[in-house]
């Protein structure tokens, strides 16, 4: 364990436990609200993600403080990774004694943070609670179910997510529907992306003339046949539309691509994982997004860009019901036909993920003392 500035924050009101790209992005608005409200906090990074382009680039761009602790756990098997986090997190929480711990989402960092906290006399809040794919083969499903069932306060983003928790017997008194903090994040960063990102020029792309793809989920890219089908399907869509595909490739996918020696269709252009403002810009201006990411399904929906999800299930069914997303599986013909369907749709669907006040609602709900008060919620996500 390295405690980068550990020890200075004894008695913080909130401890944030995070470890991966989507957690950094989706907890950033809550951390910013703590700053505005004068709430003291500690950031504990598990080190699950450590490559600059999955980690430090987001701290810099989102103007987050360096984590107080970094466990530097790195890449390991599920058991080893989660176990090392559990030991490290427990030690830190015992010395820090925060009033509340917040975890977000469904990664191994969330699982470890949730279990460690639940065995101590510290309240646990789960941000983005109640998501269910009903596919227990996905490690994320186990992580989110466990986190929900040991949490004291749960923040489902939608009424649907809340209904799953109620069906599972979690008392309603623990639940507060907040919307998703990704809306808060986009409200803060969309205009910045528009002003600051030159990614379209750098990649020589014209608005609505290219497709954007991400694929990194273990159930897809660790399976040679599924990964090949995804590449074939997206390649066919690109050929049909005579459009290039930008694929910012996650390191898990990159290593599998090499290990399986898969060939990449001509129109798919591999690029490094993108920093957040550039990725927002790439999403906003794409003709179509093809993905297996959870966060990207939400962002495509909010940004009104049609989306095809190359998975057999989704824990974001709201995106499908409002008409923003189609689940295609990985069969190339299905990817192609769902892409055609989505491109024919009018993209004026409603945003099911709230109005950008999720972070404020979460802080109100956990009932901490605020040393700075602010009653006006509009414009809450403007950068300082």
Q: Provide φ and ψ at 46, rounded to 5°.
A: -80, -20
User: How many H-runs (helices) and E-runs (strands) does the chain carry?
Assistant: 16, 12
Given ligand UDP, ligand UD1, none, residue 252, with its beta carbon under 5 to 8 Å by kind, binds ligand UD1
Q: What is the CA radius of gyration of the chain?
A: 20
> For residues 168-200, b (16+ Cβ closer than 10 Å) or e, as one string?
eebeeebbbbbbbbbbbbbbbbbebbeeebebb
Mark 172-211 with x for binding to ligand UD1 (rule: CB under 6 A) and - for no binding. ----------------------------------------
Residues 291-330 vs ligand UD1: string with x where CB under 6 A? ----------------------------------------
Structure tokens, 322:
């409002």
- Least Å distance, CB 297 to ligand UD1, is 11
Taking alpha carbons only, the member of 309, 248, 242 closest to residue 273 is 248
Using rule CB under 6 A, residue 216 touches ligand UD1? yes
78 is catalytic: no
Please state the closest distance from residue 154 (CB atom) to ligand UDP, in A. 19
Q: Is 22 in the site for ligand UDP (CB under 6 A)?
A: yes
CB of 137 to ligand UD1, least distance (A): 12
258-263 contacts, C-beta under 8 A, 24 or more apart: 260/224, 260/227, 260/228, 262/224, 262/227, 262/228, 262/231, 263/231
Secondary structure class of 43 (helix, strand, coil): strand
- The interface mask with ligand UD1, positions 253-292, x = CB under 6 A, is --x-------------------------------------
Of 93 and 234, which has the nearer Cβ to ligand UDP?
234
Span near ligand UD1 by CB under 6 A; candidates 35-43, 204-212, 244-252, 310-318: 244-252
Rounded Cα distance between 146 and 111, Å, is 7
Q: Which is closer to ligand UDP, CB of 42 or CB of 293? A: 293
- List binders of ligand UDP among 290-309 (CB under 6 A): 293-296, 299
Residue 338 burial class via C-beta count within 10 angstroms: exposed 0-12, middle 13-18, buried 19 and up? buried
The Cα–Cα gap between 95 and 93 comes to 5
Q: Write the CA distances from 245 to 53, 185, 214, 251, 289, integer angstroms.
A: 20, 25, 10, 18, 9
How far is Cα 170 from Cα 144, in angstroms, rounded to an integer? 14
String marking each residue 91-110 x if it binds ligand UD1 according to CB under 6 A: ---------------xxx--
Shorter beta-carbon distance to ligand UDP: residue 82 or 293: 293
Helical pair 294-302 and 181-196, crossing angle rounded to 10 deg: 70
Q: What mask of x and - would describe binding to ligand UDP in positions 240 to 279, judged by CB under 6 A?
A: --------x------------------------xx-x--x
56 binds ligand UD1 (CB under 6 A): no
Q: Which is nearer to ligand UD1, 227 or 336 (CB)?
A: 227
Site residue total, ligand UDP (CB under 6 A): 15
Whole-angstrom Cα distance, residue 380 to residue 372? 14
Residue 159 C-beta: closest distance to ligand UD1, Å? 24
Q: Is 370 helix (H, G, I), strand (E, B) or coil?
A: coil
CA 115, 120, 126, 131 dihedral sign is: positive
Smallest separation, CB 81 to ligand UD1 (Å): 7
Among 251, 265, 323, 329, binds ligand UD1 (CB under 6 A): 251
Interface residues with ligand UD1 (CB under 6 A) are 20-22, 48-51, 54-55, 75, 106-108, 139-140, 216, 250-252, 255
Catalytic residue numbers? Answer: 216
Which residues contact ligand UDP by CB under 6 A?
21-22, 25, 214, 216, 248, 273-274, 276, 279, 293-296, 299
């Amino acid at each position: 364990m390295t405690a980068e500035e550990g020890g200075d924050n004894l008695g913080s009101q909130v401890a944030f436990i995070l470890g991966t790209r989507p957690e950094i992005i989706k907890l950033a608005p809550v951390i910013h609200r703590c700053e505005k409200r004068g709430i003291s906090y500690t950031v504990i990074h598990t080190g699950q993600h450590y490559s600059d382009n999955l980690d430090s680039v987001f701290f810099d761009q989102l103007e987050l403080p360096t984590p107080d602790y970094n466990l530097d756990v790195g890449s390991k098997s599920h058991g080893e990774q989660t176990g090392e986090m559990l030991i490290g997190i427990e030690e830190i929480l015992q010395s820090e004694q925060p009033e509340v711990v917040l975890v977000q989402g469904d990664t191994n960092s969330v699982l470890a943070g949730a279990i460690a906290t639940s065995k101590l006399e510290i309240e646990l809040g789960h941000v983005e609670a109640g998501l269910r794919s009903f596919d227990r083969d996905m490690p994320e499903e186990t992580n989110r179910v466990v986190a929900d069932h040991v949490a004291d306060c749960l923040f489902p983003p939608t009424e649907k997510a809340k209904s799953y928790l109620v069906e599972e017997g979690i008392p309603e008194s623990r639940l507060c529907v907040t919307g998703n903090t990704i809306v808060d994040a986009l409200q803060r960063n969309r205009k910045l992306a528009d002003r600051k990102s030159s990614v379209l020029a750098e990649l020589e792309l014209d608005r609505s003339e290219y497709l954007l793809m991400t694929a990194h989920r273990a159930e897809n890219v660790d399976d040679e046949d599924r990964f090949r089908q995804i590449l074939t399907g997206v390649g066919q869509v690109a050929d049909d539309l005579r459009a290039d595909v930008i694929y910012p490739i996650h390191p898990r996918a990159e290593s599998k691509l090499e290990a399986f020696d898969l060939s990449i269709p001509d129109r798919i252009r591999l690029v490094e994982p993108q920093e957040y403002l550039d990725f927002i810009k790439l999403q906003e201006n794409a003709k179509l997004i093809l993905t297996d990411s959870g966060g990207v399904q939400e962002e495509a929906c909010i940004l009104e860009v049609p989306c095809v999800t190359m998975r057999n299930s989704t824990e974001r069914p709201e995106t499908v019901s409002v008409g923003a997303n189609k689940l295609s599986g990985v069969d190339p013909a299905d990817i192609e036909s769902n892409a055609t369907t989505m491109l024919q749709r009018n993209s004026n669907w409603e945003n099911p993920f709230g109005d950008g006040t999720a972070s404020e609602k979460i802080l109100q709900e956990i009932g901490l003392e605020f040393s700075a008060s602010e009653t006006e919620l509009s414009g809450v996500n403007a950068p300082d």
